Amino acid sequence: MQPLPHVLFFVISSAILSLKLSKAICGQPHVKPLLSPAKGASNRISYGFEARPHSHPWQVLLFVTMNGETRKCGASLIQWKDSNASDLVLTASHCVVDVEKMGSGPVVSAEKIHAYVGVHDITEIDPMVNKLTVVAVAAGTLQDVSHMEDVAILKLERKINFDHNIQGICLPSASEKLPPEGSRCFVTGWGILETGDTATRLQQIEVFIHEGRIKHVAYNKKRMLCALKNDNEGPAEGDSGGPLACFKNGTFVLYGIVSIEFSMPCNHEIEHYVAFTKVSKHLSWVTEKIAQFEIALMKH
């Protein structure tokens, strides 16, 4: 018979391991992202580069079929209700709405959306990568340019367990209007590169939030965050819907969703901006839509 102290040690060790495995973790990638040197007082988007594989494990690749064409967008797997698994994805409304009809819809049917989780190189998708269909989708309205809600929530066909390659990102509190001062913020995606080619490997770019006054019909400070960009830098076609993730107290938090670009004259020059949907402003909407998903599924 095994001595009692050994048995107790085994039981206690197993309990500690179980506790660690059950503790919900978000925004803490096992593979640490590459951090470019701090840019000091710069408030412009910096040059991008290839991300370390799986260093942004909440990144989701979406393919959306609409009007006979397939478009590519980014998205984020989010942690919800303190769980180590998730079936919920945040993206931009304009990724799933027929924008040619002035944003009035219709929202694409759920089965026309496919999500890929755990991807780095889109040319080398293998069986280890989770390809999932979407069972429910809700999108914010885009009809009023000055008050558009460029956010959409998708429910996947099943929950994805978090592992070394896949993890949900943390959400901000409803009161967090801006990332903490000095935060390192990044946008990731498979958009168009400076060469004009489409990225096949996940790219990351550092973003510096612009807090100055911006007067543009498409920009709503209450609902958006904004960053200055140079002509050939920053999020591009194919990056829409992707995360603006900021490093806060050792954890990445989803503060924004890649939304729109616009330009404005400034001191006889044209300034280019990227706007992000402010996630904290839309948390109540997200909560409401998730509850509606659950009710609808219970009826089936």
User: Per-domain residue ranges for the chain?
Assistant: 56-298
| Residue 143 confidence (pLDDT) above 70 | no
| Residue 74 confidence (pLDDT) above 80 | yes
Average pLDDT over residues 30-38: 78
Provide the CATH topology of domain 56-298. Answer: Thrombin, subunit H (2.40.10)
Q: What are phi and psi of 100, to 5 degrees?
A: -70, -15
| Residue 77 confidence (pLDDT) above 90 | yes
Q: What is the pLDDT of residue 235?
A: 56
| Residue 280 confidence (pLDDT) above 80 | yes
In sequence order, what are the residues at sequence separation of 6 or more whose Cβ sits closer than 8 angstroms to the Cβ of residue 97? 103, 105, 106, 107, 108, 139, 142, 152
Average pLDDT over residues 5-27: 51
Lowest mean pLDDT among 36-40, 192-196, 257-261: 36-40
